[in-house]
Structure 1
């Protein structure tokens, strides 16, 4: 059964403007207010509380060889991994409500401690920036996939010597736009990349190919990462980096619904309630999550 765990972190994001902080940490409670928890709990889910992140201080120093909020982010990763590990040990299916995409490191660490897992990384961007391809690395929310497959700073990518948390040959990215700056590298490194245009054009074929990779023999299961900026900003503008050419709600629901029942767990990231003053996008996202992830982990034993 599903265990809903809030991870309201914004540590992996750049500040939207000087002296301000990102609003993504408010997402779990905005979704609660929109009715997500009550809908899931009515179906047997459990509310497992929250893993709070440390203070956002934007401590990035140019040329430091670190990312912003690095110490607090690693601390949150460790505590989130511990909570997720305990839930997985009880055969629960965690549904992590971020927060920014840095929560993938906590999930990856928890799963790497247990065995070998695949990853479906659903995101409007590849999040593949890392020290090997850019001097602008700084914000883990745009670098989480690179870190999860072992390409980032060892302090992030190799906690407890467990790099990579997900072997690249067991990872599929879905949803980037064709002009993503790291698309070519991601296609070389990962098992498969499915840009948004491919999913929109051939969802059935893409789903079969995805499942063939992450549900392969020899793996202990797979995890779903969902950044809601995979949606086109015509439907979901309440994100920090909206880009046209994304999925519509029906398409995202179909993608998640085709993967949820066999997934070990999932995380939903990047929704920013500060950009949703009347709550309409929280209600939209609540509907998508409740419909598409309501069977999360149902087939996992």
Structure 2
């Protein structure tokens, strides 16, 4: 049974403009208003509540060797991990609605405590910025995959001594653009990397099959979806839109192929502040309700 857990964090993102905070923390309630929870409940899903984050502080000016909001982010990751652990112990499949991509640390921490899990990372970017390839590490939402496989500062990549949360050999990334600055590195670092252009060229099912082969380790795999995998013509309400993304039907088909084997799913980076008419919330609700029908 699906257990829907809200995790409305924005701690891993940069401010959209000086003096403001990212709007993706509003995503779980925007999706509820758009009908996602009702659609899932009609198929038996339950509400697992909410894990609230600490206060967003733009502490970048004092951050040296730290990510933005690091203390609050690590504490939130621990609480997300505790809640995911509880959901799994009850025999349910968590669907974590974020929030930004830093949620991957909480999910990875939960899974690392109990077994060896793979990861399928659906994202319009590789999110592989880390101290070894950049002097600009600061926003964990763009660095989450690097942290999840142990290539970041220990404060985020080795919380409670549990890192790396995922063995990179059992991590598959799908969806980055061909000009992603870290594409060459991730191709050497991960088990499989399938840019969005290759999904379009070879088909969704082939991409999903390759991802399952890599990520289906001893305990199963976690499924991460950053909605900026969608082309901004369809989904502009994200922090970092980039052209040449996938179509809604392609993302829905990817989810449908991957969800039945997943031990849990997280959905990140939808920003309702950029969707005042709820047009994109309704689109995302359709993609998720259709694509995740086989989850659990």
TM-score range, shorter chain: over 0.9
Distance 1:200 1:57 in 2: 40
For residue 283 of structure 1, what is the aligned residue in structure 2? 282
For the pair 1:31 / 2:31, whether they are aligned, the reply is yes
Distance 2:126 2:118 in 1: 16
For residue 75 of structure 1, what is the aligned residue in structure 2? 75
Corresponding residue SS for 2:131: coil
For residue 262 of structure 1, what is the aligned residue in structure 2? 261
Do the aligned partners of residues 95 and 63 (structure 1) sit closer, same or farther apart at CA in structure 2, a change above 3 Å counting?
closer
For residue 88 of structure 1, what is the aligned residue in structure 2? 88
For residue 54 of structure 1, what is the aligned residue in structure 2? 54
Q: In the alignment, is the contact (CA less than 8 A) between 2:127 and 2:141 conserved in 1? A: yes
Gaps of 5+ in 1: none
User: 1:97: how far off?
Assistant: 0.2
Between 1:207-216 and 1:178-187, the stretch displaced more is: 207-216
Distance 2:98 2:255 in 1: 17
For residue 7 of structure 1, what is the aligned residue in structure 2? 7
Q: What aligned pairs does 1:150-161 form with structure 2 within 5 A after superposition?
A: 150-161=150-161
Corresponding residue SS for 1:188: helix
Distance 2:149 2:213 in 1: 19
Corresponding residue SS for 2:127: coil
Distance 1:84 1:174 in 2: 24
Distance 1:25 1:124 in 2: 19
Distance 2:207 2:276 in 1: 36
Q: How large is the RMSD of aligned CA atoms in angstroms?
A: 0.9
For residue 197 of structure 1, what is the aligned residue in structure 2? 197
For residue 215 of structure 2, what is the aligned residue in structure 1? 214
For residue 142 of structure 1, what is the aligned residue in structure 2? 142
Corresponding residue SS for 1:233: coil
Distance 1:103 1:60 in 2: 20
User: 1:212: how far off?
Assistant: 1.1
User: 1:62: how far off?
Assistant: 5.3
Corresponding residue SS for 1:82: helix
For residue 169 of structure 2, what is the aligned residue in structure 1? 169
Total equivalences in the alignment: 295
Distance 1:212 1:121 in 2: 14
Q: In the alignment, is the contact (CA less than 8 A) between 2:12 and 2:69 conserved in 1? A: yes
Runs of 4+ in 1 over 2 A off after TM superposition: none
Corresponding residue SS for 2:113: helix
User: 1:63: how far off?
Assistant: 5.8
Corresponding residue SS for 1:61: helix
User: 1:205: how far off?
Assistant: 2.1
The alignment's TM-score, normalised by the length of structure 2, stands at 0.98
Distance 1:125 1:170 in 2: 18
For the pair 1:226 / 2:225, whether they are aligned, the reply is yes
User: 1:213: how far off?
Assistant: 1.1
User: 1:61: how far off?
Assistant: 2.9
Distance 1:224 1:112 in 2: 15
1:12-46 superposed Cα distances (whole Å, 9 cap, x missing partner): 00000001000000000000000000110111000
For residue 250 of structure 1, what is the aligned residue in structure 2? 249
Corresponding residue SS for 2:82: helix
Q: In the alignment, is the contact (CA less than 8 A) between 2:173 and 2:211 conserved in 1? A: no
Gaps of 5+ in 2: none
User: 1:54: how far off?
Assistant: 0.5
